[in-house]
Structure 1
Amino acid sequence: MANPIGTSGSDPQTDQSAGEGADVGADVGARLRHLRNAHGLSQRELARRAGVANATISQIESGGSNPSVGALKRILDGLSMDLAGFFSFELATGERHFYKASELLEIGKDKLSYRLVAADRPGRSIQMLHETLMPGADTGKILLSHAGEECGIVLSGSLEVSVGEMRQVLRQGDAWYFDSTIPHRFRNKGAEPCICISAGTPPTF
């Protein structure tokens, strides 16, 4: 049986496969395409982050080639995911209605955890996240702004939410709702992790 990811061949970044290996390559490609779309990245942007050619991402996603171990690790670094996580999540084979906690896709990093619901659902019109902001977590001094609306509710801890010129510290049971085009920022200035559920439309992840 062919290796899940190519480790030989004349091309150090990709390994052409046939037969059973082509099926494995298609699976790698489908997984990569799914994750890239879940992160809202174009092939060009992912290639830039990974330091590979645009054609490399396109060839992998189409199932035309398998990446080497090194190339795949480099690409996954651009998605903040390791090899184990890449091969462990399940791709949807049909419409799903329920997701276990372990099936939510982690798209955050460092002190910010964003676990996306239904990342494998094509054409989602809503984005729902289970968020954990560790003490000191901050979405950044440069305020966020994008099309759509968003809302959320604090389940535990406290969260400072800035919307335009307004600022409010929200605690357990408190909520927010605003037009996402208004510059906004989220910070956990407390001593405990803040856990909240948020939703936004249209999806940005």
Structure 2
Amino acid sequence: MVREQAGQVLAANLRALRDRGGLSLSELARRSGIAKGTLSQLESGSGNPTIDTVFSLSNALGVPVSDLLTAPADSEVVLVRAADLDVLSSNAVDLRMVRRLTLGDTVVEVYDQRVRPGQTQYSAGHPGREHVLVTSGSLRVGPAHAPHELGPGDYVCFPARAAHTYETVGGPVESVLLLEYPDGVHASHGD
């Protein structure tokens, strides 16, 4: 049930963002590098996106990831239950978006992030800054040319526009990831 609801939110947001930008499915496929058939499935709510797919769509549309994954809030009190969160996965990372915050002109997305041992998550880059706070395990993270090793309680912030990596040092890692989007990256709905 949770995945179905999340899929419907993504479907509605993707259609609205594509329509607002005046983009055809073919043009969005070209910009994002995602097959037109896959985009059609996502817009119908029947697709199963990966982390890479969602970030590619975010970059192609010029919006924060939360513009694709978040339904508008309808209450002043926000309670998020872990069991209600959809998981975006890649070869190395499981992300659960906990919250989107709009602070003035800045959008901050809060994620629960789990990194599996023996794999490396590589990102070619995207707008904004990444803030990482490790809560358990040891993580090598940051710019691909000079990552930092973090243990429990350690924090790093780096520009996300350049290539960067996430890799465990030993066993699994639990961390909090904040994505901070700069002015000029459009946010479609506020808190």
Task: Report TM bin, short chain.
Answer: 0.5 to 0.7
What is the total number of aligned residue pairs between the two structures?
Answer: 147
Partner of 2:12: 33
Whole-Å Cα distance in 1 between the matches of residues 146 and 33 of structure 2?
A: 38
Whole-Å Cα distance in 2 between the matches of residues 173 and 118 of structure 1?
A: 21
Relative to its length, the structure with more strand (as a share) is 2
In the TM superposition, what are the counterparts of 1:115-154 in structure 2 within 5 Å? 115-118=96-99, 125-140=107-122, 143-154=123-134
Identity of aligned residues (%): 19
Q: Summarize deviations over 1:64-84 as a string: whole Å, max 9, x none.
A: xxx6xxxx64xx13x25xxxx
Partner of 2:80: 99
Q: Summarize deviations over 1:103-156 as a string: whole Å, max 9, x none.
A: 22312234310001237x9x981111101011113113xx53222112111100
- 1:194 matched to 2:176: no
Whole-Å Cα distance in 2 between the matches of residues 172 and 198 of structure 1?
A: 14
Whole-Å Cα distance in 2 between the matches of residues 29 and 155 of structure 1?
A: 32
- 1:156 matched to 2:136: yes
Q: What is the Cα-based RMSD across aligned positions, in Å? A: 4.1
Q: Larger Cα Rg: Structure 1 or Structure 2?
A: 1
Give the CA deviation at 1:34.
Answer: 4.2
Partner of 2:54: none
Give the CA deviation at 1:91.
Answer: 5.7
Whole-Å Cα distance in 2 between the matches of residues 105 and 124 of structure 1?
A: 24
Partner amino acid, structure 2, of 1:170:
L
Change (3 A) 1:188 1:35: farther
In the TM superposition, what are the counterparts of 1:7-26 in structure 2 within 5 Å? none
Query: Are the counterparts in 2 of residues 104 and 118 from structure 1 also a CA contact under 8 Å?
Result: no
**Structure 1: unaligned runs, 5 residues or longer:** 1-27, 62-66, 81-89
Q: Which structure carries more relative contact order (alpha carbon 8 Å, separation 6+)?
A: 2
Partner of 2:165: 185
Partner of 2:147: 167
Query: Are the counterparts in 2 of residues 155 and 172 from structure 1 also a CA contact under 8 Å?
Result: yes
Q: Summarize deviations over 1:50-94 as a string: whole Å, max 9, x none.
A: 626x7x56xx96xxxxx6xxxx64xx13x25xxxxxxxxx96661
SS at match of 2:11: helix
Partner of 1:51: 37
Partner of 2:67: none
Partner amino acid, structure 2, of 1:158:
S
Partner amino acid, structure 1, of 2:109:
Q
Give the CA deviation at 1:181.
Answer: 2.3
Whole-Å Cα distance in 1 between the matches of residues 138 and 15 of structure 2?
A: 32
